Structure 1
Amino acid sequence: MCLTHGLRRSFGPSNHRASKPAARFAAGLLGGMAMIAPAPAQAGQGGRSALFDIPAQGLSAALDQFARQAGVQILYPYGVATAGRNVALRGRMPVREALDRLLRGSGLEIARFTDQVVTLRAGVPSPFARRVKRLDVPLPAPSSVPERPSPPPPEIVVTGRAVGAPLAEAELSYAVTHIDAATLARQGPQSTAELFTRIPGFWVESTGGEASNNVRSRGIPTDGYSSVALLEDGLPVQYDGGLGYLNTDQIYRADPTVERVEAVRGGPSAIFMANAPGGSVNFLTRNGLRTPGYLFSATGGSFGYGRIDGFAGVRIAPNLGVSLGGFYRRDDGLRDPGYLADQGGQLRAGIDYDNGRVRLSFNVKRLDDRVILYLPVPLQFDARGDVHGIPGFDPLSGTLAGPDNLHVPFKTATGQRDFDLSQGTHSRVTFYTMTGRLPLGGLSALEVKARLRTGSTVRNGLFPIGRPTSGSIYLDSVGQQVAAAFPGTSATQIRYADTGQPFLPDSNGNGLVVGANLLSVRMPMREFVGDVRLTRSVDRWGHHDLALGLTYDHASLGFDRTMGTVLLDVRSQARRLDVVALDAGGRQVGALTDNGFIRYGSLFDRVDLRSSNIALYLADEWKLAPHWRIDLGGRWERIRIGGGVEGNSPVNLGDPATLADDAVLTGNGKITPIRRTFSGLSWTAGVNFNPGSGTGLFLRFARTARLPSATEFIGSPNRTDEAIVPITMAEAGLIIRRRHWNLSAVAYKSHFARLPFTDYRFDPVSNTYVDRTSIADTSTVGLELAGHADLPGPLQLDLQATLQDPRYRNFSYVELVGGLPVTRNVTGNRLIRVPKLSLRATPSLNLFAGGLRIAPEFVHYSDRFADIANTQRLPSFSLVNIDMNARISDHLTLALHATNVTNTLGLTEGNPRAGSFDAGGMGTSYFLARPEFGRALRATLNFSY
C-alpha cells in the first residue's frame, strides 16, 4: 500500500501527528502496492454520520476527499482506483453507508471497516465466474469527462528506498524513471537492454542481441552490469551483475509477468543494493491477488520472428491469489546466420497471500532460452573517416557466424569435442523467490526476501580478431613461419577448408580474410541471496522512517573456457580457410592450419569460485518540516572470495602435417588457491524541498566503495592490483509534475579513484591473449533531462536527453615502440564508447478518442571513441523508429514496431579484442565494430480479459 503524502500535508502538522498511529499501521499493513488516503484521527466513528460533498470524478481523487470528510484512513489498490469513477455523493449520512454508495459500480468493495482504517479490495467474482478483472492494456478505453478537473495521481515510488512508507516522485531526493504496464505492452517484446534505452543517463549497447549487452550509467567506466543493479521485486537477479562472461541480462527476460519497471538513476542505489553506483532497475511482478485477469499476445516479424506471451491471474479466495505466465520465442536472427538464431522461453508460477496484516509471496521461474551472440563485423573507413560496408558484406544484416562454423570438430589434449555455435548464450536457470512482510505492532514491520538460483549458462560465440586483410598480405605475414616448419616449401596457398578449392581475390567479392576465435564457456552457478529488514516509524524532531537491514549472498560458480583460433574469409556466414605449404611441383608438404584452425587450444581456463557477501545498512527518511525531507543512509559490506584456478601449459598433439596442434593449452593439474577479503563503507545524504504538490528540488551526495568481483581473478589468481575503488557522486535535481506536462532535470558529477583498467588484447602473432593493467581515475559531469507534454489537440511529446563530459584522469601506460618502452599519457581523453550527447524525442498522435496512437521516435548519439587513446573514432549517428498502436475492441489491440527505418549504419562499439588502450587508429582502411541492426518490423496482437 502507498501513502498519499500530498493529502496528509494539507492537514497541517497537528493533524499529521494525530493521524500517525493509523498511518503507520496502514503503511505497514500492505506496503508498496496500493494507496492510503489519510485523514485526521477522530474517535468513535463506527456508526457516526458525516457531511459529504464529493462530485463524480476519478475514483482515486474521490477516495482522498472521502477520507478527509469522514475522518478515516482508506487503503485501496491504486491501479484499480485510477481506472475507475465514483458516483456523486452529497448530504449527511453514516460513514459506512456513504462509502457503500461511493463505491457502487466502481470495481472496489470493502474488505475491512474499523473506526480508524478502512481497507478496500478489487471486487472480483469467484474464480469460476466467466468474467474477471481485465488487465491493463496499451490504450485504455476513453472515459467520460469529469465534472471538474482533478490533478493527476502521483507516481508512487518503492525502489531505491529501504522503508515501506510510500512517497510520491516529487518528494524524493533522487531521480527515477517509470515504465508502466501500458508502455511495456505498447512497445512489445524486446531485450532487457533495449528497455534501458528509455532511461536518461544510461548509455546502452543493445547490439549484442537479446542478451550479453553493455549498460553504463552517468559516464561510469565499467561495462556489462557491473555498475547497474538489475532487480526483481527489490532483490538482485544476480548479486554481482558484472561477473566475467555472465552479465545479468543473460539470465533475465521481461515478459507479461512484469507489471511495471522503476529505474533509479544514481541516488541511494549503492547504499541499498550491491554493485549499483550507477543505479538500479527494478522489475515488479504481477500476481493473481492484486492484478487478476488474463492476457495473451502473439508477435510476428522480420527474419522469421515469432513469439507468444501469456499471463493468467486468479483470486481463489479473498486473501489468496495464484498466477501463471511466460513466453516462448524463436527466430532466424536480425543478422541471419543461416540457422535458427534464438529459441526458448520462460515460465513463472506464483502464489500470494495478503490478509491485510501478513503478506507472503512465493514464485518459481524457469528460464530455458538460447540466443545468438552478435559480435563485431568487418567495416572500412573512407578517406574522410566515414564508415562504409565492405563489398560482399552487408553490415546491417550480415554476420560472420554461419553454417560452416555451426558444428566444428575441436581437438583438445583429452580428445576431440564438438564446438556447437548454435548454442549461442544458452541459459537453463531456475529461480525460487519468497517475500514476506509482518507488522510488529503499529510502529514496526519485518520484511524478508530470499531467492535461490540454480542452473548453468553456456556461451559459445565466434569472436573476430585483428583486422581484415587481403589474402596475399596474410600469406606474406606467415610465409617465414611456414617455410621454417616445412623446409621443402616453395609457395603458400589459401584454400577453403571444406572443399580444398583455392581462395582467390574474387571468391568472396573482396579478397579479404580475417581471424576469429571459436570460444566456448560453461558457467554452472548456484546462488542464494537474502535480505532481512526491520522498519520503524518514530516521531521526534519531526517524523522518521527508519530501516535497519542485513543482506547475505553466497554464490558458487564454475568457469570452464576453451578456445581455438581460425581463419575465415570475409563474407556473411563466413567459411573457414586453410593455409598450405606447396613444393615446387605444387604438392602439399604441410599446413599452417588444420580444418581452418590456426591454433587449437589458444585459451584454456578451469576455475571454481566462491564468494560470500554480507552487508549491513541503515536508512533514515526524516520529515523535518512540512516541505522538507532529509534522507540519510549508510552501508558496510564485506566480500570473501575463495576457490582455485587450475594452471595450464601447452602440449603438442603430434600431427607433423600441421602447426595448428603444436601448442594446445590444457590443464596441468596445478591448482592455485584464491583467498581474498575486501570490505568497504558507503554513505549518502540527500535533501528534498517540496514547495507544493507535484514539485520537488533535491540535492544528494554519496561516497561509495566498489568491491572487486570474484571473476577478476580467473586469469590471474595472484594479482595484487585489485582493491577498493572509492566513488564520489553528487547530484542536484528538479522534478515538476503537472496535469498536462512533467519535467525532470538532474545535474550530476562522479569521480572514480584508483580504478584498474585492463587492456585484454588478442595477439594475432602468438594467437593468444595478452593483457596489461593501469590504475587511473575518471570524472564525469553531466545533465539528464526527461519530460512529457500534452500539446494542443491530439499531440503529445516525450523527450529525454543526456549531456555529459566523461574524462580519464591520472592515466598513463607503457607500450613498446621499436622494442623500447614508451609512456603514453591519456589524461583528459574521453571515456571509451560513451557519447557526449544522447537524445530521444517521441512525438505522438492520438486519434479516435485514444483508439489509435502513432509515435515516431528520433534518436541521436554523438561521436564516441573505441579506445582509451581516442585514436579510433566512432562517428555520430541518428535512428528513426516508429510505433503504432490501435484498439480493435475492448479486449483486443494491435501494435506495430518498425526499427531503424532509414537503415542507418551506426556503431555502438569497436572491437575490444583489438585492444581497449589503443585500437590502432583510423590509418588502416579495414576494421571491426558492432553496428546497430538494420530495418526490422514486428506486429503484436494483444488480447486481455
Structure 2
Amino acid sequence: MNAWKKLDRRALATAIGAVLVAGALHAQDAPSQDPAPPPQTKPAAEQRQHPSSAEKTAQTLDQVVVTGNSAAGGIRKIDASYSITTATLQQIKELNPVSVADLLKVSPGIYPESSGGQTGANIEVAGFPSDSGAPFVTMQLNGSPLFPKWDYFTDAMVRLDDTIDRLEAVQGGTSVLYGNGQPGLIANFILREGSSTPTGDIGVTYGSEGMVRLDGFYGFPIGGKDSGWYGSIGGFWRKSDGVRDPEFAADKGGQLTATLSHDLDHGSVMFYARALKDKNQFVTDTPILNPGPGKFSKYPGFDPLTGTFGSNANRRQFFELAPCFTAGCSPAGHRIDMANGQGGDVHMLGGNLDLDFDSGWSLSDKLLFVAGNMDTTAFFSTGDNPTTLGNFIDDAADSFGLPAGMTATATYRDGRPADMNENVTVQNPEYIHKKIQSISNEFRLSKELFEGNRLTFGNYTAVYSEEHSEEAGLNMLLQARNNPDPIVVTLSDGTRRYAITDGQGLYWNSQPQSWMAFNEHWHATTTAFYLADEWNIGKWRLDGGVRVHHDKIDGWRQNTASGDLDANPDTVYNNNARYLIDSYRRPSSSRTAPSWTIGANYTINDNMSAYARVNRGVFLPSFDDVASLPDAPIEKINNMEVGFKYQAPWIFADVSAYRRLFHGVPYSINLPTGRVDLVYGSVTKGLNAAVTVKPFENFSVALSGNYMDGHYSDYADCVPYVAQDGSDQCTSINGMTLDRQPKVQYRLTPAYLIPTGWGSVKLWVTYEHVGNRYGDQIEQQPLGQYHDISIGAIANVGKHWVLTLRGSNITNEIGITEGNARLFGFASSGGVILARSIEGREYNFQAKYQF
C-alpha cells in the first residue's frame, strides 16, 4: 500500500510538473501581446445574446466570474488573485455527479463522501478538519447563501437541472469577506435567464436503477425583443428505485424554477423563484468484511454497492414517544414512513440588483427569502457490528436485568420463526424535523476613488430561525442482509413473558442517552460589515479587505426524563425510555469576530498570471454548538496560498499551493467512561491542480487533483481509546493525520471529439483515484484507497437533438468513504466493520430536444 501511495503522489507531481514545464517552454516562444483590457459592463442587448451552454466552456482564463469579488460585472479568471473553479451546464452533465455534493469534487481539494445517496453527504475541504456534515461549505444561489448558518441539510437544498447556467466554486481567499463569511468553499450556482431569442430544451432520461426523469427549460423575451424584459421557467421531475433499491421509490420529486429579468440603462434587475419538493433515500453504514487494514469485501447477504436496510417490511413504523402512566395503556407516538427519506420541501424567492454608473459609482444588492421543511426519515448506525440472533438475545436479556436461561421466541413481523443462528444488526430509525425560515440581504456600494482603484463598502444581514425536533431514541432489530425483515423477540420463564422488542422489532436502550429525544427552537441574526479595496497598477492587481462578523443566537431546548412509557414492567423494551417533559433551558450566544484578506495578482502576459494571498477566516458556533458546548471557541483559520495560471491553444493550467493553520476546533467523544470534550488545531500544506492538455485536434486529457498533508495540533492530553487488540489505550491526537481526508486524490479524463456530417460525437473516460484515509482521529480506522471508472458519450445530431449516455463506477469498485463514525478507535470486530461504500454500477441515457 505504501508503494502505491508513493506512486500516486509521484504520478500527480510528475503530471503537474510536466505540464508546467511545457507551458513555460511554450510561453517563451509565444509572441508578446498587449494585456487584454479589464472587462466592462456589456450593453444590455449584448448581455442577452447568450450562447447555449453546449457552446460555452469554463476552460479559459478570459471567462468572467462574479463569485469572490466586488468588481462591477465581475472579473476575468486571469485577473483573480484566488483559486476559482467553474463548470458550465454541459460540463456538469459530462461529470455525471451522483449528487450535488459529488459535483463539488470538480474543485481540486474537495472530497465529497458520495455514498449516502442524493443528499446528506459529508464534504471535506482539504486542510479543514471536520468530522461529519459540511460545515466549511456554503451553497449559494445567484450569490446568496441558501441558509446563513451551516446545518446538515444545506446540500439537500440544491438540485441540479437545466435551470443552472454554471457553477462557480471558490476555496478560501476572498470568500471570508462576502456572504456569510465562509472560510472554506463557496459553491455558487448561477441560474440561466431568458434572452432576446426564445430558446429551450426538453429531455427524457432513463437509468439502469429504474430511474425515469423529465427535464425542461424555456427562456423568452417578454413584450417583444426590445422591451428589455426576459423570463425563463424550467425544472425536473423524476422517480428512481435507486442503485440501492429499498423496495419503494428511493428518489421521488422535482423542482421548478422561474426568473424575471430586466435590463436598465445602467445595469439590470433580476427576480427568481424556486420550489423544491423531493424525497431521497439516506444510506447509513452497512456491514462490510474487513479482513485486514484498508481491505474490504462483500458481507454475506449484503452487497456494499447495492445493499440497503430499507424494505417494505420496515417501511412504516410507529414510535412510542410519551408515557401514559396507566397499566395497559397505549403510549402516544408518531407514525413515520421511511420512504420520505431525506429531502426538501422548500420555497425560495430572490432578487439581484446591479447598477454601474458613469460617475464611478456602482451598487449591488442580493436579497433571498427561504422557507420550508428539511426533514429526514432514515436509518442511522448504532455503531454495533452484526452478531447472531442468539447472541443478541443473551446480551439484551443481560442489559435489561433479566435472568439467564429463559426461553426465547423470535419471529419476523409476519409471524414466521427467525433463525437463532442468523446474523442480525441493530439500526436507529430516526425522524428529524427541521422547519426553517430565513431572509438575507447583501448590499454593496463601490466608488472608483481614482483611476484603477475601487473601494467597496458592504453589509450582509440575515434573520433566520429553525424548529428542530428529533425522534431518535429507538433501535430496530433487523436481519443483517439487504432489504431485511424486523425481528420480534420475547423471553419467558414459564410464568411471565417479557417483550424485548415491540411488535415491530423496536426497543429502547436499557441505558438512555440524552440525545435520544429532543425538541428545540432557534432564532438568530447575523450582521457583518466589510470594506474591500481593489487597485490595478500596470500588470499588478492588488486587493484587500476586512470584515467584522456578529452572530446573535437565542433559543430553547426542551428537557427530557426517562422511565416506563406504559406502566407495564413486562414490556421491557420501553421501561427505560427517554421522553420530553414540560421543562426547558434557554441557551444563547452573542459572538463577534473579524476576518481579513490581502492578495496580489501579476499578469505576466495575456495568457499567464501568478498570485499570492494571505487571509484569516473565522467559523462561529452553530446551533448545536450553542446547545451542547456553550463555551465553544470561535474557530480561526489562517490561509496562505500562491498560484499560477496559464493558457495556450494546447493547454489550460491552474495550480496552487497552500498552507492552512486551524485553531480552536471543538470536538466531543462519547466513551464508555463518559464524554470527552477536545479543543485542538491543525497544520496543513497542500497542492491543488486543474490541468487540461490538448496534444492534437479534437483530443484532450484533463487532470484534476490535489495532494494534502494535514495533521492535528495544539492538543497534548491523552485521549483514551480501544486498540485493535481490544486493550484500553491512551494517546494524543497531535501529529495524527486529519481524518476522512485523502492525502492524494485525482481524476484523469481523456476525451475525443468526432466531427460528422450530421453533427458530432464526444467520447470520454474518467479514472478517479482516492487515496487512503482514516475514519477517526487516532488512525485506528484505515479506510483504504479506491479507484473507479466512469464513461460517457454525447452525440449532437443536427441542430436540435442531443443524445447522452453515461455510466458511473462501471467496474463495481468497493470504495469506503466512511468508517464507523460512532466509535473512537478500532471499529472492526471479527473481520467485520460498519462502513459505507460508493454506489455500484449505474448507466443512464438521455434524449434531449433543443429549440
TM-score, normalising length: structure 1: 0.80
Pair 1:503 & 2:411 matched: no
C-alpha spacing 1:927/1:621, structure 2 compared with 1 (3 Å): same
Aligned 8 A contact 1:330 1:344 in 2: yes
Say whether the 8 Å CA contact 1:580–1:591 is kept in structure 2: yes
Matches within 5 A, 1:446-595: 446-465=363-382, 466-481=384-399, 484-485=401-402, 490-505=406-421, 511-539=422-450, 543-563=452-472, 564-583=474-493, 589-595=497-503
The alignment status of 1:724 with 2:634, answered yes or no, reads yes
Task: Quote the Cα distance in structure 2 between the aligned partners of 1:802 and 1:356.
Answer: 45
Of 728, 732, 738, the residue aligned with 1:825 is 732
Task: Within 5 Å, give how 1:832-843 maps onto structure 2.
Answer: 832-843=739-750
SS of the equivalent of 1:712 reads helix
Larger Rg computed on CA atoms:
1
The answer to whether 1:860 aligns with 2:772 is: no
Q: Structure 1's 438 and 498: CA in aligned 2 closer, same or farther, altered over 3 A?
A: same
| Equivalent of residue 561 in structure 2, options 643, 649, 673 | 649
**Conserved? CA contact 2:589–2:626, under 8 Å:** no
SS of residue paired to 2:245: coil
Please state if 1:772 is matched with 2:676: yes
Tell whether the 8 Å contact from 1:385 to 1:922 is kept in structure 2 after alignment. Answer: no
- Aligned-partner Cα distance in 2 for 1:442–1:218: 43
Q: Which amino acid aligns with 2:428?
A: N
1:733 to 624, 635, 643: 643
Deviations along 1:369-421, one digit per CA (max 9) or x if unpaired, are 11111111111112575211111111111111211210012212161321211
Query: For residue 667 of structure 2, what is the aligned residue in structure 1?
Result: 757
Q: How does 1:134-149 map to 2 (within 5 A)?
A: 135-137=52-54
- Mark the CA change 1:927 to 1:289 in structure 2 (over 3 Å): closer, same or farther: same
Q: Report the 3-state secondary structure (helix = DSSP H, G, I; strand = E; otherwise coil) of the residue aligned with 2:129.
A: coil
* Distance of aligned partners of 1:796 and 1:238 in 2 relative to their CA distance in 1, 3 Å threshold: same
Q: Is the 8 A contact 2:763 2:794 kept in 1?
A: yes
Partner of 2:656: 746
Match of 1:211 among 112, 115, 119: 119
Q: For 2:469 and 2:117, how far apart are their aligned partners in 1?
A: 23
Of 584, 602, 607, the residue aligned with 1:689 is: 602
**TM-fit CA distance, 1:820:** 12
SS where residue 173 of structure 1 aligns?
coil
**Residues 138 and 163 from structure 1, CA distance in 2 versus in 1: closer, same or farther, beyond 3 angstroms?**
closer
Q: Which residue of 1 aligns with 2:29?
A: none
For 2:517 and 2:378, the matched residues in 1 are separated by: 15
Shift in alpha-carbon separation, 1:504–1:593, aligned structure 2, 3 A: same
* Superimposed CA distance per residue, residues 573-604 of structure 1 (whole angstroms, 9 cap, x where no aligned partner): 122123321336xx872132222112188711
CA distance in 2, matches of 1:279, 1:660: 45
Distance 1:684 1:290, change over 3 A: farther
- Counterpart residue type for residue 839 of structure 1: Y
Match of 1:263 among 138, 160, 169: 169
Paired residue secondary structure (1:288) = coil
What residue is the counterpart of 1:433 in the other structure?
Answer: 350
Aligned to 1:232: 141
Q: Give the length in aligned residue pairs.
A: 794
Range with bigger deviation, 734-743 or 184-193: 184-193
Change (3 A) 1:291 1:903: farther
Does 551-560 or 841-850 show the bigger shift? 841-850
Instruction: Structure 1: give runs of 5+ residues left out of the alignment.
Output: 1-8, 17-22, 31-74, 78-110, 112-119, 124-132, 141-150, 506-510
Structure 1 residues 214, 490: closer, same or farther in 2, change over 3 A? closer
Fraction of identical pairs, as percent: 25
Distance in 2, Cα, partners of 1:875 & 1:823:
24
Structure 1 letter corresponding to 2:180: A
- Asked if 1 retains the 8 angstrom alpha-carbon contact of 2:240 and 2:250, the reply is yes
Distance 1:817 1:853, change over 3 A: closer
Asked if the contact 1:463/1:517 (under 8 Å) is kept, the reply is yes
Match of 2:288 among 361, 376, 379: 379
Distance 1:463 1:736, change over 3 A: same
Q: Which 4+ stretches in 1 moved above 6 angstroms?
A: 9-13, 816-822
Whether the 8 Å contact between 1:226 and 1:275 is mirrored in structure 2 is no
Q: Is contact 2:120-2:153 (8 Å) kept?
A: yes
8 A Cα contact 1:152 1:738, kept in partner: no
Q: Is the alpha carbon distance of 1:256 and 1:219 closer, same or farther for their aligned partners in structure 2, counting shifts above 3 Å? A: same
Distance 1:139 1:780, change over 3 A: closer
Pairs within 5 Å for 1:584-623? 589-595=497-503, 596-599=505-508, 603-623=516-536
CA change 1:632–1:385 in 2 (3 A) is closer
Check conservation: 1:226, 1:276, Cα contact below 8 A.
no
Listed as ranges, the matches of 1:921-932 within 5 Å are 921-922=827-828, 924-932=830-838
8 Å CA contact 1:307–1:329 kept in 2: the answer is yes
Shift of 1:903: 0.5
Report if aligned partners of 1:569, 1:575 keep a CA contact under 8 Å in 2. yes
Contact 2:418–2:487 (Cα < 8 Å) also in 1: no
Q: Is the 8 A contact 2:293 2:782 kept in 1?
A: no
- Counterpart in the other structure of 1:942: 848
Residue 713, structure 1, aligned to residue 622, structure 2: no
Distance of 2:729 and 2:518 partners within structure 1: 32
- For residues 155 and 797 of structure 1, do their structure 2 counterparts lie closer, same or farther at Cα, with a shift above 3 Å needed? same
Tell me if structure 2 keeps the 8 A contact 1:758–1:772: yes
Cα deviation, residue 924, structure 1: 3.5
Is contact 2:410-2:488 (8 Å) kept?
A: yes
Where in structure 2 are the equivalents of 1:617-696 lying within 5 Å?
A: 617-624=530-537, 626-653=538-565, 654-696=567-609
Q: Which amino acid is the alignment partner of residue 178 of structure 1?
A: T
Q: Distance in 2 between matches of 1:694 and 1:620?
A: 25
Structure 1 residue matching 2:67: 3-state secondary structure:
coil
Return the match for 2:191 from 285, 296, 313: 285
1:440 Cα deviation (Å)?
Answer: 4.7
Code of the residue aligned with 1:633 in structure 2: it is: G
Change (3 A) 1:444 1:498: same
Letter in structure 2 aligned against 1:774: L
Cα distance change of structure 1 residues 426 and 168 upon mapping to structure 2, 3 Å threshold: closer
Which one-letter code corresponds to 2:783 in the other structure?
L
1:873–1:403 CA distance, 2 compared to 1 (3 A)? same
Mark the CA change 1:760 to 1:445 in structure 2 (over 3 Å): closer, same or farther. farther
Provide, for residues 706-738 of structure 1, a one-character-per-residue CA deviation record: whole Å limited to 9, x for no partner.
111123234x2xx34312111111101111011
Question: Could you say if the C-alpha distance between residues 785 and 501 of structure 1 is closer, same or farther in structure 2, counting changes exceeding 3 Å?
Answer: same
1:271 and 1:516 mapped to 2: Cα distance? 43
Q: Secondary structure at the match of 1:303?
A: coil
Aligned residue type for 2:391: I
Q: Which amino acid aligns with 1:374?
A: V
Moved more, 372-381 or 414-423: 414-423
Specify which structure has the bigger relative contact order, considering alpha-carbon pairs within 8 angstroms and separated by 6 or more residues.
2
Q: Paired residue for 1:335?
A: 244
SS in 1 for 2:350: strand
Please state how far the C-alpha of 1:869 moved relative to its aligned partner: 1.5
1:788 aligns with 2:692: yes
Distance in 1 separating the partners of 2:272 and 2:738: 41
| RMSD (CA atoms) | 2.7
Check the 8 A contact 2:178/2:460 in 1, yes or no: no
- Confirm whether residue 272 of structure 1 aligns to residue 182 of structure 2: no
Shift of 1:518: 0.8
- The DSSP-based 3-state class of the residue aligned with 2:147 is coil
CA distance in 1, matches of 2:721, 2:740: 25
